[in-house]
Each structure stands twice: as structure tokens, then as C-alpha cells.
Amino acid sequence: MESATSESFVTELRAQLGDVFLTQDISVLGDGRVVLFVGELLGDAESAFAILEKRFGSLGYLPVLRRSRGRDEILATPAPAAKEGARPIINLLLFVATVGTVTLGGALQEGYNPLQDPPLAILSGIPFAFALLAILVTHESAHFVVAKAHGMKATLPYFIPIPFSPLGTFGAVIKMESPIKNRKTLFDIGISGPIAGLVVAIIALVVGLRLSEVTVTPPGAAVMSLGTGLLVDWITELVLGPLPDHVMVILHPIAFAGWFGVFITAMNLIPLSQLDGGHVGYAFFGQAHRLVATFVFLGLLAMGLFWTGWFVWGFFILIFGGLRHPPPLNDITPLDTKRKVLAVLSFALLFLLGTPRPFG
């Protein structure tokens, strides 16, 4: 009886393909709930996906379109179960906690000692906290807004507080609660956060540099320097003018927040794993992205010779995301020309923002 039911359902699924797909082979996979149709699309993949999404949706299924060895494949897979409603109170509590830890981090940078100084001295961390949180909120809000504009379900940002740290946070993330439909959506969501956050980071950097102090470097002084990419160098020269070698810039907290915003944007644009650059990279390269990601990861390890933090970053990438990026539901339709150009510009932007040795 179960076999007959399964055969009947496969026949029903195949009937949905008649006018958009020429079926040449059928396979039932896994526990019998996933069906693979191999053949040839009769039109463009984007139109076919839009049609099949509605038809399969009425049966509780999702279509997955991909191309392998010159043949088109449609995978009919059960739609994920609807998730419980979000609990924004958790997002709010994490954000409030992050406001506190980032303010404390900014105050610690200013020499605040919580065991000796009066409690209100922590307010010295507000300029840094305001600038850094503005960058992070803008970054994550851009992801959220673009996801909603594409009809995707996404959580509010989850901020990650780190008490008694000079930065006070490990950033923030949003979680997609519905499958990514195509590469265009994947690209738009991926690129929106870094670009929006970078705009605010540059504003903070310019404002902060105007408030920073330029002083002569004391002879023999041990100075903790920050690495700067080409863009930061250009902005610094534009704001402060050419600086001789014997002077140093004591960054205002807002400038440091801007510098850090530029730095984390560069890290996010690396085309690996679940980083924003990984989304952009897969949208651009498609299935070839895995090979690209392998070379990029090896390059990341090589940069560990300049700063050991790259080894740590590479470790987290492997543990939490790996080098394989999950494909969107429609993995056949490529990016349009406009998005391809923007993708190339984002790869170039990575080289303008990044530096092999950010600290030391």
C-alpha cells in the first residue's frame, strides 16, 4: 500500500512539471519523500521556478532547481515546517546588554577602572559605543530590510555582548527563517549589510579623525599601532593632510569605532562560508565557489603569518560554516549584469579595506 501511495504521489508531482520540464529520469531518494526529476527545462529557470513554487507549495513541497553535467534537475523536497513566532524580547535584552558592554568597553579604552572610579565615569565610553553600535545596527538592519523586501522571513538582529572587552561585542547576526529562492536574493541580502555599515563607518572615521590628536612620537616609545588599508590611508590623508613619519595620531574613540567598522566590513567581505562575502561569492561563482573558497581559505591562513588572528578567524569559519555554501532553491539562474558588476566591485573593495596586520 505504501509503495502504491508513493508511486501515485510521484505521478502527481510529475504532472506539475508537464509544461515547464521534459522529464527523462525519476529517482526517489532518502525515505521516499524526496523526488529527483532529471531532464531539460522547456524555458528559463526563473520562470519555471516561479510556476513550480506555487504548484509544489500546494502539495507541501519546494522545488530545487540545479544543473549538473549539462542536465537540468528538479528536486522536489518537503517544505520546512512553520516555526514558532519570534520573541523580540530576547533581541531587545541582548541589545540592551550590548549597549552596556560596548559602553564599558569604550570607557576601559579611556582608562576607566570600575573598582576605583565613580560609577558615572563609565559614561566616557558613550562616544565609542554610539559610533560602533550605529555601524552594527545599520549593517544588520540593511540585511533585515532587504530580506523582507524579497519576501523572506528573517529574525531581528541578535547582538552578542562581551563583558570587560575593549570592544564589548562580537557583533550581531540575523537568521533567515525561509529558504533563499535564487542567487539574486542571496546577493542582495549579502551585499546590503557591508555596504550600509561601511557608509556609517566612514562617516564615523571622518568625524573621529577631526577630533583626534596629532602629536610627535616620543623617542623609544612603545606604540600600539593599527593597520590601515588603502581606503583608510586615503581618508586619513584627506582629513589630516600628509603626516610626517615622526608624528602619530591618537585616535578619538569615534575614530577607533570607525576604523573597527572598516575592519569588520573587510572581514565580512571575505568570500567564504556564511560570511556576507560568502553569500556574494556563491551568488557570483555558483558551484565553482567551493574551489574559489578553498584558495581564499589558504590565502587567509597565509595571512596568519602577519597576524595570528587570521588563524582564529579561519578556525571559526571551518567550525561554524565550513567551505561549502548552501545553494539557493533556484541555483540555475545567474546574476544579472548589474549585480555581477557590483560583485566584482565588492571583491575589489575587500582589497581597499583589508590589511594583513590589523594590530601590532
Instruction: In whole angstroms, give the CA distance from residue 228 to residue 266.
Output: 11
Residues forming beta bridges with residue 62, ordered by sequence position: 77
Instruction: Note the residue count of the chain.
Output: 360
Which residues make Cβ contacts (< 8 Å) with residue 238, sequence separation at least 6? none
Give residue 249's domain range.
88-353
Instruction: In whole angstroms, give the CA distance from residue 286 to residue 65.
Output: 13
360 residues of the chain, pLDDT tens digit each: 344 447 788 888 888 998 999 999 999 887 778 999 999 999 999 999 999 999 999 889 999 999 988 899 999 999 887 666 668 899 999 999 999 999 999 999 999 988 888 989 999 999 999 999 999 999 999 999 999 999 999 999 999 999 888 899 989 999 888 899 999 999 999 999 999 999 999 999 999 999 998 888 777 655 567 888 899 999 999 999 988 878 888 899 999 999 999 999 999 999 998 899 999 999 999 999 999 999 999 999 999 999 998 999 888 888 888 888 999 999 999 999 999 999 999 999 999 998 888 886
The answer to whether residue 130 sits within a structural domain is: yes
CA Rg, the chain, in Å?
A: 25
Q: Are residues 58 and 173 in the same domain?
A: no
Answer whether 124's CB lies under 8 Å from 106's CB: yes
Q: Are residues 161 and 298 in the same domain?
A: yes
Strand order in the sheet with 34-41: 21-29, 34-41, 71-78, 61-68
CATH number at residue 31: 3.30.1360.100
Query: Taking the model in full, what pTM does it have?
Result: 0.90
Cell triple for 20? 515547464
Q: Are residues 211 and 292 in the same domain?
A: yes
What is the number of domains present in the chain?
Answer: 2
Q: Are residues 73 and 166 in the same domain?
A: no
The answer to whether residue 359 sits within a structural domain is: no
The answer to whether residue 360 sits within a structural domain is: no
Instruction: In whole angstroms, give the CA distance from residue 96 to residue 3.
Output: 55
Q: Are residues 154 and 126 in the same domain?
A: yes
Answer whether 173's CB lies under 8 Å from 321's CB: no
What Cα–Cα distance (Å) separates residue 208 from each residue in 94, 137, 193, 205, 221?
A: 27, 19, 22, 5, 24
